[in-house]
Amino acid sequence: MKTAHVIGLGRSGIAAARVLMQQGYTVTLSDRGAAQRHQSDATRLTGEGITVKLNYAFDAQVAKDEGLELLVVSPGVPWDAPALMTARELGIETIGEMELAWRTLRHLPWLGITGTNGKTTTTALVAAIFKAAGLNAPACGNIGYAACELALTDAPDWVIAELSSYQIEAAASLAPTIGLWTTFTPDHLSRHKTVENYYNIKASLLARSQSVIINGDDPTLRSRSDDHRSPRHHWTSVKGQSAIRPIQPDTYIEDGWVINKGEQIVEAKALRMVGEHNQQNMLLAVAAARLAGIEKDAIAQGIASFPGVSHRLEHICTWRGVDFINDSKATNYDAAEVGLRSIDSPAVLIAGGAPKDGDDTAWIAQIKEKAAVVLLVGDAAEPFAERLQASGYDSYEIVQTIDRAVARSADISKAQDIKTVLLSPACASFDQYANFEVRGDDFRQVCTKYLGEL
């Protein structure tokens, strides 16, 4: 009997365990988390014939001695964790949940979307366009379904997967029909160590893709265009057909229209989301849809009906003429800088959380241009305050929590001419929240409750 072990009792791990069961494996699913938190899932999975071990640290040598053949890890497990490195050294095949999904669904066309920022919006917009075309192509990976969940349902027409660097490095054979690269800036360096390593992980997905779409407006990707020159590479630009020479994009904006290979597809203003970065996301989605053979009427319908993405410049409410915007998904400096650039000023910026490495120069420049006041929360509050002070910006306050930030922003808005209150943290959420979605939901709830009572 074939044996497999899945690490991580989250949505991805559960789906992976069930897929392996269908494929005839004897499956063990483990998690280091508290037994009480996972008990209901464990009871249900045990009833399905899956062995569940809670409060359990995987031991590669013990697993090898017991004859383990396949180890599957969830995206949150570091690929260079000592137990995984030992497993590979001992000859235990070790893959990520995304690789298992690929091996199971590789007979279907795949569209793999990666990049530092813009992945989620682009993936959601692509899925909306494919749906408008009558295709069964739900988003999976970092948003929507876990990839292996699609293997447990009726086969989709396309697999549209948002792929983080974590998922790519653990999916060595994943080779999409269409690979798409949104942006590239330094991120996740605590895990990937160097910018070059992070870049190469992203690039490996594109190297294996049959067709490739790249955002030509991204300076780093454009600077490395010599790595991406062939008939299978397709570039996009909001700046027009001739603005990014020597690259010649085949999807671009001209005279207010999105053009693909010389054909008008949809008016650029059809997308309801603000910001040049969202125009870039739209071009990438249009290029992907055309490569997939989708007609322009369906593309226009999908774009016009697209409501946007939760936690990415999401309008929560307007209170006394001030727009409250949830940009919780801005978990690094570059995404937060884009968020600030996209909103009306003067603004109150709420920033902070679990700090990340990165270059904050452009972000601070946008703060000086757009923010009347910065309210700082979480673990990053003190270091951000020091950084702002050192840069010559002193209109900041440390408030620690989002509920205090919302209350203080209301007071500031009464006293000053404020156009926007923007939650755009430039940080991960793990100091105070389980993830950026929970943080954004908390902001929404606090705004709805507190402002409704004023």
Mean pLDDT, consecutive 10-residue stretches, the chain (454 aa), reads 93 96 96 75 93 94 96 87 95 97 98 92 96 97 92 94 92 97 73 77 95 95 85 94 86 96 95 88 98 97 90 91 94 92 94 93 96 98 97 97 97 96 96 93 95 81
pLDDT at 165: 87
Look up the CATH number of the domain holding residue 379. Answer: 3.90.190.20
Q: List the Cα angle 51/54/55 in 5-degree steps.
A: 150
**Residue of 121, 131, 118 lying closest to 302 (CA atoms):** 131
Same domain assignment for residues 112 and 194: yes
**Averaged confidence pLDDT in the chain:** 93
Question: Pick from 282, 304, 326: which residue ends a domain?
Answer: 304
Interval 237-263: pLDDT, tens: 999 988 888 888 999 999 999 999 999
Same domain assignment for residues 232 and 186: yes
Look up the CATH number of the domain holding residue 110. Answer: 3.40.1190.10
- Domain with 423, as residue range(s), is 314-453
Look up the CATH number of the domain holding residue 20. Answer: 3.40.50.720
Q: Is residue 309 part of a domain?
A: no
Which residue in the block uniquely carries the two structure tokens 């970092």? 142
Number of domains the chain contains: 3
Radius of gyration of the chain (CA): 23
Q: Is residue 14 part of a domain?
A: yes
Same domain assignment for residues 118 and 140: yes
Same domain assignment for residues 178 and 280: yes
Same domain assignment for residues 282 and 145: yes
pLDDT at 246: 84
Question: Pick from 72, 97, 122: which residue ends a domain?
Answer: 97
Same domain assignment for residues 285 and 318: no
Task: Indicate the pTM of the whole model.
Answer: 0.81
Same domain assignment for residues 414 and 371: yes
Q: Is residue 191 part of a domain?
A: yes
Same domain assignment for residues 142 and 170: yes
Q: Is residue 41 part of a domain?
A: yes
Same domain assignment for residues 133 and 267: yes
Residues ≥6 apart with Cβ < 8 Å to 7: 13, 30, 31, 58, 71, 72, 73, 74, 77
Same domain assignment for residues 283 and 432: no
Q: Is residue 56 part of a domain?
A: yes
Same domain assignment for residues 113 and 92: no
Same domain assignment for residues 166 and 239: yes
Q: Is residue 260 part of a domain?
A: yes
